[in-house]
Structure 1
Amino acid sequence: MSNSKVLPVLAPETATPCCPPLTERPLTAEEAERTAKMFKALGDPVRLRLFSLVASHEGGEACVCDISDVGVSQPTVSHHLKKLREAGLLTSERRGTWVYYRVEPSVLAAMGQTLGRYSA
């Protein structure tokens, strides 16, 4: 019997980035809603820092024990990580007593694509 347990995340259609570059065409109302959820989750400095710690961690995965020193209490860290999961930015897996977080590569790629490159 395995100690691994994948924690729930939003349905794939919510977590899957949907939008073209902002410079390509205006977003539809649905695209704007879905994209705003991701950026809203990153609008908090603690969440942005946690997201950055996971994204930049060796192997693209971080144990909560390695990223929880961000100047807030452990329950607050858990709250922020939950918000990032709900926004579809992180996935998590329980291994024994620890939870490991991973940034979905498709999310990073899509966020970069949505922001697009502006060339004058």
Structure 2
Amino acid sequence: MQTPIATVPHFIAAGFHALSDPIRINVLELLRQRELCVCDLCEALGVSQSKLSFHLKTLKEASLVNSRHEGRWIYYSLNLPQFTVLEQYLADYRNLGQILSARCCDNS
């Protein structure tokens, strides 16, 4: 079975990089509720469209958000499968910790 492109290390790193900025976290929090257009995001965050565009580009490159055009507006929504990829990546380390802890205790 072929690994989806979103699980390539570059996309995992891009995902965590995208999550490292408070403005991008705020964008994601707003998008948890519903799809929003750029103008709504700018208003809710109190940032200029040019500043927000930089952050949305980072989120798109990390595959954390989807975008669609409707007329002259661009609407953004969460790309939930990519969050699952990041969650699974971290879960694998949690599982590794449990395995190593069990091995440590078995050797006593």
Instruction: Provide the TM-score with structure 1 as the length reference.
Output: 0.64
Percent identical among aligned pairs is 36
Q: What letter corresponds to residue 91 of structure 2 in structure 1? A: G
Tell which deviates more after alignment, 107-116 or 92-101.
Answer: 107-116
User: 1:57 and 2:33 equivalent?
Assistant: yes
Whether the 8 Å contact between 2:64 and 2:80 is mirrored in structure 1 is no
**Which of 67, 70, 85 does residue 45 from structure 2 map onto?**
70
Tell me which residue corresponds to 1:25: none
Counterpart mapping for 1:4-23 below 5 A: 13=5, 16=6, 18=7
- 1:21: which partner in 2? none
Listed as ranges, the matches of 1:31-110 within 5 Å are 31=9, 33-54=10-31, 56-58=32-34, 61-68=35-42, 69-110=44-85
- Tell me by how many angstroms 1:92 deviates: 0.6
Q: Deviation of residue 72 (structure 1)?
A: 2.2
Shift of 1:53: 1.3
Aligned residues: 91
Name the structure with the higher helix share. Answer: 2
* Cα distance between partner residues in 2 of 1:81 and 1:34: 16
> Is there any run of 5+ residues in structure 2 with no aligned partner, and where?
99-108
Q: CA deviation at 1:65?
A: 2.4
2:90 paired residue number: 115
Give the alignment's Cα RMSD to 1 decimal.
Answer: 2.1
Structure with more contact order per residue of length (Cα contacts < 8 Å, sep ≥ 6):
1
